[in-house]
Amino acid sequence: MGAVTSTVAARFAFFPPSPPSYGVEQPPQPPAPAAPEPAPAAKAGEEKGGGGGGAVVELTGVPRRGNVEARRLRTKRGTEVVAMHVRQAGAKLTLLYSHGNAADLGQMYELFVELSAHLNVNLMGYDYSGYGQSTGKPSEQNTYADIEAVYRCLIETYGAAEDNIILYGQSVGSGPTLDLASRLTRLRAVVLHSPILSGLRVMYPVKHTYWFDIYKNIDKIPLVRCPVLVIHGTADEVVDCSHGRSLWELAEVKYEPLWIKGGNHCNLELYPEYIKHLKKFVGAIERSPPPPPIDESTKSSGPSGRTPMEPECSAEDSRKSTDCRDKTRPSIDQRHSTDRREKPRGSTDRRDKTRKSVDHPDKPRASVDQSDRPRKSIDRYCFTLPT
């Protein structure tokens, strides 16, 4: 069975840039003053940030900035991923960004720095296993372990709180983003940028979810209880816009989506409405109250109803309030994976017969991974960013 899953993943394909667009080196160490021999724990390389924060490294091949720090983080699957943290003075929210395919931190570096500044957020980006200077090989399960290691670093090293974190997933990155979002109970918000319903649905117009499929986002998004923003280009030839529309329809708490007319899979940042809408969303989230603390006594009480403040939402243009929260979900360490079902079942698409089918394309689509190109700096585009 694992061979079938591997075959689907191979057809879906990961394309890490080769060679990587950046390097890593150890930061210069200041001369050590004469002092007693440090304790063993201190000699183990617990650089600033403490035990779970990994080793601080310097990125080479990119401009050095005082507000950017890079680290090597070990995952529970034994790989080491490189992550970069952009600190924005006075920021209240943190964006955890999972990039698309055929890109690495060196190519995303300037975009991350500028998004942090323009959105007034701290930002954490990382390379999947096998990408850039991260060790190991790319795989679905590795990306899940990768984002979890980065998330824990945000909490343990940088002092971020779950209810002040926004997960951002672009294209393939929508897979690890929704997997983590489906397991967190107090996440602040989610952004899906050109997302996929599942790996198999990118290639073939299937109407069922099969056990050997990968990145089953279609099954995980109903488990997300925080506001979800979807951004997709209407002329996307790699991942049809119907993927984004269907995911938005399945979201429990919808935020006004952004369908960029004429936008394709790799150029949405070129459009002025991209950064304008993203700033509007982040502002709305920052003004909304964080989700309430979890009441342990209500975890087994079954689904709760929607709050009276939550507006009804049509599939065209309305949205659910960003202030609403629903029932709690299993914690990050207690959930049952949605990736272990053994036989085909009816897709969640069929629950609403009025919904446009996600299987509309008449022929298999090109691999999502072959068209993801490196992102350019948003300040190089021919539009003026709003202040």
Q: Which residues contact 340 (CB under 8 A, 6 or more apart)?
A: 211
317 labelled catalytic: no
Rounded CA gap, 377 and 113, in Å?
9
- Pair 213, 185: CB distance under 8 Å: no
pTM of the model: 0.74
The answer to whether 265 is a known catalytic residue is: yes
Give 53's pLDDT tier (boundaries 50, 70, 90). Answer: confident
Taking 90 as the threshold, does the pLDDT of residue 176 lie above it? yes
What local confidence, expressed as pLDDT, does residue 352 receive?
43
Tell me which of 171, 182, 194, 371 is the catalytic residue: 171
Per-residue pLDDT at 206 exceeds 60: yes
The pLDDT assigned to 141 comes to 97
Is 98 within 8 Å of 173 (Cβ atoms)?
Answer: yes
As a whole-number percent, the residues of the chain with pLDDT over 90 amount to 61
The pLDDT score that the predictor gives to residue 8 is 55
CATH number of 17-26+53-287, picked from 1.10.10.60, 3.40.630.30, 3.30.70.20, 3.40.50.1820: 3.40.50.1820
Answer whether residue 344 shows pLDDT above 90.
Answer: no
**Residue 34: what pLDDT?**
58
Mean residue pLDDT of the chain comes to: 78
**Active-site annotation holder among 193, 243, 265, 277:** 265
Residue 224 · residue 189 · CB < 8 Å: no
Cα separation, 132 vs 157, whole angstroms: 22
Q: Which residue did the predictor score with more confidence, 51 or 372?
A: 372
Phi, psi of 375 (to 5 degrees): -80, 145
In terms of pLDDT, which residue wins out, 292 or 117? 117
Span 19-46, average pLDDT: 67
**Encoded amino acid at 136, one letter:** G
Choose the weakest-confidence range: 36-45, 141-150, 236-245. Answer: 36-45
- pLDDT (tens digit, 9 = 90+) per residue, 262-311? 999 989 999 999 999 999 999 999 999 988 876 655 443 333 333 322 33
Domain extent listing, the chain = 17-26+53-287
Window from 124-138, 295-309, 365-379 with minimum mean pLDDT: 295-309
- The residue from 104, 146, 213, 236 that is catalytic is 236
Residue 365 pLDDT > 60: no
* 236 annotated active-site: yes
In sequence order, the 6+-apart residues with CB closer than 8 A to the CB of 143 are 98, 128, 129, 172, 175, 176
Q: What is the 3-state secondary structure of 38-95?
A: CCHHHHCCCCCCCHHHCEEEEEECCCCCCCEEEEEEECCCCCEEEEEEECCCCCCCEE
How many residues can be counted in the chain? 387
Tell me how far apart the alpha carbons of residues 268 and 326 are, in angstroms, rounded to a whole number: 31
- pLDDT on residue 33: 63
pLDDT at residue 226 greater than cutoff 60: yes
Q: Could you read off the pLDDT of 150-170 as tens digits, one per residue?
A: 999 999 999 999 999 999 999
- Tell me which DSSP letter residue 359 carries: T
Would you say residue 382 has pLDDT above 80? Answer: no
Q: Which residue has the tokens 């570096």?
A: 109
* Stretch 363-387: mean pLDDT: 41
Three-state SS sequence of 182-223: CCCCCCCEEEEECCCCCHHHHHCCCCEECCCCCCCHHHHHHH
Distance CA 200, CA 213 (A): 6
**Nearest CA to 239 among 194, 193, 282?**
194
Which residues, 6+ apart, have CB-to-CB distance to 36 below 8 Å? none
Per-residue pLDDT of 58-116, as tens digits, reads 999 999 999 999 999 999 999 999 999 999 999 999 999 999 998 999 999 999 999 99
Most confident of 10-19, 132-141, 350-359: 132-141
Tell me if residue 71 falls in helix, strand or coil. Answer: strand
